[in-house]
Structure 1
Amino acid sequence: MKTTAGRRFFLIGGGVMLLAAAGWLLLSLNHWTFPSPGASGGPAPAASLAEDTIVMMFPSGSYPRDFPLVQAEINRYVSSKINARVDIRLVERGVWWEKTGLLFASGQQVDLMFTAGWMRYADEVAKGRFLPLDDLLANYGQDILKTLNPSVIDAGRINGKIYGIGTNKEFASSKGLVLRRDLADKYGIDLSSIRRLEELGPVFRTIKENEPGVVPLQVRADRSPFTFLMQYGLFDMLGDGPGVLDRNDPSMTVVNLPETEAFARYARIMYEWNQAGYLNEDAVTNKDPEFEAVKAGRAFAYAESLKPGFDRQASRDTGMPMTAISLTRPFTTTADTTSAMFAITRNARHPEKAMMFLNLLFKDKYLLNLLNWGIEGKHYIKKSDNVIDYPPGIDAKNVGYNLNQPWMFGNQLNSYLWANEDPDLWDRYRKFNEEAEKSRALGFVFNPDSVKTEIAACLLVDKEFLPAINTGALDPDRTIPMYLEKLKAAGAEKVIREKQRQLNAWLASRNAGGGAP
């Protein structure tokens, strides 16, 4: 039984039933969501009955203490702009798929939903979960169209229609780690010369031997140095399902990732580090953001996708001085241009207002920064027109609003910069985007519809094997052959052939049109 304010949940005959004071019996999906105001999906409060309520949903690693205050201010402001309220629902990342799967099955309202190329975007479109946005964008998204490069908008197209609107941010990344600078300095560790993952082994050994209670490397089953290198670090994943391109291979041959030498090599490194005790013991099951362990003084380093200024962002998130080490060159893929998007779902009740709100996040600097950083004077103070800092007595560890997801919303280049950040950061973002190596398959979007059964079967195999491989929990020399055998039985080769067929057709159309592949 789970009790929340004003509600009791009972498990009866395998179903979850909600007994409310009014006696209504409703299906509840919200026990997997952080407790946010208005998250029941029920009637709006009486004061707002004349307004449309937009439901916005996105994954978050935490539920900020002052989130209700910020949402109330968002609603006060948005009501004056588009006569609407926004019911923002934060969903724990670890239960995102269970939550959203039940949501679509039940028909529960959600207007705006976060999506991304790395979050099964094409598969969600193939399932019919998102609405085409071309007309809505043309009618209500003028500021989006003014802000985003047409190539970024086109990256959200599948079968000629737009289903997701990307955030205006960096469109490239390098893969690496962020580490506590204070401990590196304490032990005279030179991080500036490290270029390969294996070179971090001696660093982690030093921390392990000298800092009891501090985990050298904090990882999760879905986030480790291994996952970052495999997924868009050394390879272009080409969308959902098996089949990748080696970024250094010009042949444009789609290969099975677990069969590559790099997969086995880096899996062995993770296994060696796990055996040496360099990783957190709950690596396979832990779902908390890695920076939280550093923030609590329990960890030294974690893996990330890097971009200009990320070391300062990590320092702000953890409350400790952090240093970033890049292990790959900056790389732009279709997944990077679709790495943070919002879609309007088939369950939307107010698609027009949803697009209006999304447009505001590109146009309205006050609203964007309210969502990003909270309320001025309480959660931050302005040092200048575009620079903020914590109020006196407040820091990253005790601030009441620490969503820390500015990369997710609207025009990030309108977001305030923190006092410890480079004031030229947004110019560095633009240069970073321009100079990054471009994938030979940039712009290719795989349509998984014809092999969705095989992809679903392969995903189940991934869930069985990858958590242990990603965290080095099992010997890869024994585990990878079993993983490959089950992938083959699930239809991986059929998916790879289909990716190759679609990629070849895309290349042919590009060449026919005079575009370089």
Structure 2
Amino acid sequence: MKKNAVKRLLAIGLSCVLGMGMLAGCGSKDSGASTPAGETGGAAATEGAAAESAADSSTTDKASGDIPTLIWWTVGGTTPSDYNDRLADINEYLVEKLGVKIDIKVAGWGDYDQKMNTIVNSGEYFDMMFTNNTNYSKFVNLGAFENITDMVQSSTPDLYSFIPEELWNGVKIGGNVYAVPTYKDSSITQFWYFDDQYVQKYNIDLDSIKTMKDLDGPYRAIKEGEGKSFYPLQMAQGSPFNGFFNEYDGLTAGLQPMGVKIDDETRTVVCTLEQPDIMENLKLMHQWYMDGIINPDANVLTEVPKKLPFSSAQGWPSAAATWQTLNGVEKYDVFKVFGPLYSTETIQGSMNAVSVNSKYKEECLKVLDLVNSDSKFRDMLAYGVEGNTFEYVGDGVIKKLRDDWPLAAYTQGTFFNMSITEDADPEQWEQVKKQNEEAASSVCLGFALDITNIQNEVANCQAVWDKYKYDMLVGASDPETTVPKCIEELKNSGLDTIIEETQKQINEFFK
């Protein structure tokens, strides 16, 4: 797609909401509706038999009049005790609208990566799956996701026309579409925020904070004042310091140790762990961990605590209301530290894919179509059930009655047809529009790495990174000793080969 594609990607004008936190490959260049991209892995290994039995089963279900139930895997919080009852309420509406039901299974924030890998590699049956730039292309290359290039246009033309062409282009692999992109904010802007009570108590000058190093003083003031058992920076395995690698475009590779500096006009591919800025921040994190600024169980904790005194997220200024609600904090003082920025990865921040083995591929797309077109169904997925977990207090405005609905709204579909919470800024979508309009561009915008020739190296390097990242990114390990070990293992697993191939593709793409 080259330079014209880059211009088209820059034209994205309006989208919506943030996510709460990358392997690219190449599929068949045919646009058939059932062509997987790879021939290896658990999903692909069972594809033929599963597809045949699925077709028979699907025919039987429809002939018998049984209501299909679609298994939809996503990421979110802990499910409340009455979750299945609320899902049953939602399904009553869905049966009325489409004649199907959904069984939404939720993997926790800290468990999502491992759980989805297990499902795909074992060939476990599912119909739909939330996916993003951390696993999308990897799963496409394993043959887990259906090629919906033609089907999404023929079966759900309204859905296809609703989502901008630029987003469809942004999720293509080998010229084909394997997931429905979420029409939301397509550029990223990084915000940091402190609980206002600590800002006031310790006289924190937010305007003076521009870098991670600038956080050291405020953290230490809070730590000294609040005591030994209080941790100003609280994190978990699935919730490390959000945006830590923002300065590097990961090229949709899903491998954080590799990237291109977002403003490097030479587009030189580097090992990010070898870069001075990354190493400096890793050392800082470790010092904070050793000094008790970071919670000591951050590397093993799977769910981040509530009432965070400080946190980092991608969004827009008025998203503070959401962050306050999620954390049970009365007021957060929010300030921007990065962006807005466009990259191919930002477009792939939230998608939903259909399983290549699903018995109900068209039904899956129709459900996603309904999410993006029916405001009542959209509110149900985002907030739960009216009268139980939320209530309407105005036209397009809701009040939450409970804070334990586990589904993450950014994973499901557009926010343009979704009600806002009563404490939300009515101008929030204008803020998103402004950010997209003002967004700078990564020097590699439009490029997505094709891992066809380096699949084994990428998988091996990802396994190495998975071994080190939880300790490293919360400061639990000493980067002086851990980083060299990690880099050595990465290089032994093929990192240099990956970098060489990536550089070759970039040079060809932008020549």
What TM-score range do you get, normalising by the shorter chain?
Answer: 0.7 to 0.9
CA contact 2:75–2:407 (8 Å) conserved in 1? no
**Where do residues 117-136 of structure 1 align in structure 2 (5 Å cutoff)?**
117=133, 119-136=134-151
1:99 matches 2:115: yes
CA contact 1:362–1:411 (8 Å) conserved in 2? yes
Secondary structure of the residue aligned to 1:91 is strand
* Alpha-carbon distance in structure 1 between the residues aligned to 2:220 and 2:113: 37
CA deviation after TM superposition for structure 1 residue 106, in Å: 4.7
Partner deviation per Cα, 1:461-485 (whole Å, 9 max, x = no partner): 2123222221122222222222222
Residue 244 of structure 1 corresponds to: 259
CA deviation after TM superposition for structure 1 residue 148, in Å: 1.4
CA deviation after TM superposition for structure 1 residue 151, in Å: 0.7
Select between 347-356 and 183-192 the one with higher mean Cα deviation: 183-192
Residue 8 of structure 1 corresponds to: none
Secondary structure of the residue aligned to 1:258 is helix
Unpaired runs of at least 5, structure 2: 1-56
Change in 2 beyond 3 A, CA 1:327/1:484: same
- Aligned pair partner of 2:412 in 409, 420, 424: 409
Secondary structure of the residue aligned to 1:94 is coil
Residue 342 of structure 2 corresponds to: 332
- Aligned pair partner of 1:460 in 459, 463, 467: 463
1:274 matches 2:282: no
* Alpha-carbon distance in structure 2 between the residues aligned to 1:426 and 1:306: 11
1:294 matches 2:306: yes
Residue 507 of structure 2 corresponds to: 504
CA contact 2:194–2:333 (8 Å) conserved in 1? yes
Change in 2 beyond 3 A, CA 1:222/1:370: closer
**Amino acid of the residue matched to residue 326 of structure 2?**
D
Residue 8 of structure 2 corresponds to: none
Change in 2 beyond 3 A, CA 1:247/1:99: closer
Change in 2 beyond 3 A, CA 1:335/1:77: same
* Alpha-carbon distance in structure 2 between the residues aligned to 1:455 and 1:368: 37
CA deviation after TM superposition for structure 1 residue 66, in Å: 3.6
CA contact 1:389–1:418 (8 Å) conserved in 2? yes
CA deviation after TM superposition for structure 1 residue 222, in Å: 4.7
Residue 63 of structure 1 corresponds to: 79
CA contact 2:110–2:238 (8 Å) conserved in 1? no
Residue 420 of structure 1 corresponds to: 423
* Alpha-carbon distance in structure 1 between the residues aligned to 2:171 and 2:405: 29
Residue 16 of structure 2 corresponds to: none
Residue 29 of structure 1 corresponds to: none
1:354 matches 2:364: yes
- Aligned pair partner of 1:311 in 320, 333, 349: 320
Partner deviation per Cα, 1:382-424 (whole Å, 9 max, x = no partner): 222112223xxx4xxxx16423622111111222111211101
- Aligned pair partner of 1:169 in 184, 189, 193: 184
**Amino acid of the residue matched to residue 502 of structure 1?**
Q
Residue 181 of structure 1 corresponds to: 196
Secondary structure of the residue aligned to 1:329 is strand
Residue 235 of structure 1 corresponds to: 248
* Alpha-carbon distance in structure 2 between the residues aligned to 1:214 and 1:49: 58
Change in 2 beyond 3 A, CA 1:176/1:224: farther
**Where do residues 189-268 of structure 1 align in structure 2 (5 Å cutoff)?**
189-212=204-227, 213-225=229-241, 228-230=243-245, 233-240=246-253, 241=255, 242-268=257-283
Partner deviation per Cα, 1:8-67 (whole Å, 9 max, x = no partner): xxxxxxxxxxxxxxxxxxxxxxxxxxxxxxxxxx9999xx96212111111123213442
CA contact 2:111–2:238 (8 Å) conserved in 1? no
Change in 2 beyond 3 A, CA 1:59/1:404: closer
CA contact 1:294–1:301 (8 Å) conserved in 2? no
CA contact 1:59–1:91 (8 Å) conserved in 2? yes
Secondary structure of the residue aligned to 1:244 is strand
Residue 66 of structure 2 corresponds to: 50
CA contact 1:223–1:303 (8 Å) conserved in 2? no
Change in 2 beyond 3 A, CA 1:222/1:261: farther
RMSD of the alignment, in Å?
2.2
Secondary structure of the residue aligned to 2:101 is strand
CA contact 1:243–1:499 (8 Å) conserved in 2? no
CA contact 1:197–1:327 (8 Å) conserved in 2? no
Change in 2 beyond 3 A, CA 1:247/1:98: closer
CA deviation after TM superposition for structure 1 residue 143, in Å: 2.7
Residue 387 of structure 2 corresponds to: 377
Change in 2 beyond 3 A, CA 1:92/1:126: same
* Alpha-carbon distance in structure 2 between the residues aligned to 1:458 and 1:106: 21
Secondary structure of the residue aligned to 2:283 is helix
CA deviation after TM superposition for structure 1 residue 362, in Å: 0.6
Residue 355 of structure 2 corresponds to: 345
Residue 15 of structure 2 corresponds to: none
**Amino acid of the residue matched to residue 50 of structure 1?**
D
Secondary structure of the residue aligned to 2:471 is helix
CA contact 1:108–1:347 (8 Å) conserved in 2? no
Select between 364-373 and 82-91 the one with higher mean Cα deviation: 82-91
CA deviation after TM superposition for structure 1 residue 313, in Å: 1.0
Change in 2 beyond 3 A, CA 1:176/1:270: farther
Greater relative contact order structure (CA < 8 Å, 6+ sep): 2
Unpaired runs of at least 5, structure 1: 1-41, 509-517
Residue 438 of structure 2 corresponds to: 435
1:479 matches 2:482: yes
Residue 110 of structure 1 corresponds to: 126
- Aligned pair partner of 1:387 in 388, 397, 400: 397
Change in 2 beyond 3 A, CA 1:313/1:503: same
TM-score, normalised with respect to structure 1: 0.82
**Amino acid of the residue matched to residue 202 of structure 2?**
Y
Change in 2 beyond 3 A, CA 1:67/1:497: same
**Amino acid of the residue matched to residue 257 of structure 1?**
T
* Alpha-carbon distance in structure 1 between the residues aligned to 2:114 and 2:248: 28
1:447 matches 2:477: no
Select between 71-80 and 471-480 the one with higher mean Cα deviation: 471-480
TM-score, normalised with respect to structure 2: 0.83
Partner deviation per Cα, 1:194-224 (whole Å, 9 max, x = no partner): 1111111111112211223431001224533
* Alpha-carbon distance in structure 2 between the residues aligned to 1:447 and 1:64: 41
CA contact 1:218–1:279 (8 Å) conserved in 2? yes
**Amino acid of the residue matched to residue 435 of structure 2?**
F
